[in-house]
Each structure stands twice: as structure tokens, then as C-alpha cells.
Amino acid sequence: MIKLMMMASMTLTLSIIMITLYLIINKKMNMERNKMTPFECGFDPKASSRLPFSTQFFLIGILFLIFDVEMVMILPMIISLKTSNMLTWILASYTIIMILIMGLYYEWKNGVIEWMN
């Protein structure tokens, strides 16, 4: 028990000494110039950070997100093909694929998929 107490007190003493040395040796200032400026890849910002972004790029991103969710829905259906009722499986697959095709057609007609406008 005495060895354990002695080891704990030595560890605590050594930790306090190291923290004190760190605070004495540390040359960093709390309010450094780089910490006070906005982060922009290490460069000083030259323009406003509130520039408008392309809605076309946003819509393409949403399109990819929708098709990622579609993959999450369809892949388990392929695995469950052996154990489920065939009529129910076909109706569910058909419904999901038709909703996706109608959405793709709607986006195509509205010009969301075209990169160059």
C-alpha cells in the first residue's frame, strides 16, 4: 500500500513539474494573429466569404444524394428476394423504380441535369 501511495505521489509531483515547465517555456501568445483571422487554407481572405454558390451544383448534389438513398433501398431487396413473397417483392421493386424514373424525368424536363445552361 505504501508503494502505491509513493508511486501516486511521485506521478502527481512529476506531472505538476512538467505542467509548470510547459507554462514557463511556452512562447505562444493567447491572442495570436493567425488565430484571430478567418481560416481560408492559410491565406488571407481577399474577398467576402458570403459569395453566392451555384444552385445548379446544389441540385446535382441533391440528385446524387437521392440515388444514394435509392441504392440503400434496392440492395437489401435483392438479398431478400429468396425469402419474400414474389408478388410483393415485384410490386415494391416496381414502385421504387417508377418513383425514381418519374423523378429523373421531372429533373430532366426542368433542366437540372444539364451542366451547361
CA distance 62 to 110: 14
Q: pTM of whole model > 0.75? A: no
Contact 113, 54 (CB under 8 A): no
- The SS3 of residue 113 is coil
What's residue 17's pLDDT?
95
Report the distance separating Cα 48 and Cα 14, nearest Å: 49
Structure-model confidence comparison of residues 15 and 116, the more confident one: 15
Residue 66 shares a structural domain with residue 104: yes
Q: What is the mean pLDDT of residues 33-37?
A: 62
When computed from its CA atoms, the radius of gyration of the chain, rounded to whole angstroms, is 30
pLDDT over 60 at 106, yes or no: yes
From residue 90, how far is each of 74, 94, 95, 103 by CA, in Å? 12, 6, 8, 20
Is 48 part of any domain? no
Number of domains in the chain: 2
Per-residue pLDDT at 19: 92
Q: Which of 37-46, 54-63, 69-78, 91-100 has the lowest mean pLDDT?
A: 37-46
Grid cell, residue 96, equals 421504387
With CA atoms as reference, report the closest residue to 76 among 61, 63, 87, 92: 92
Does one domain contain both 59 and 105? yes
Note whether residue 79 is domain-resident.
yes
* 27 lies in the same domain as 72: no
Domain range enclosing 29? 2-36
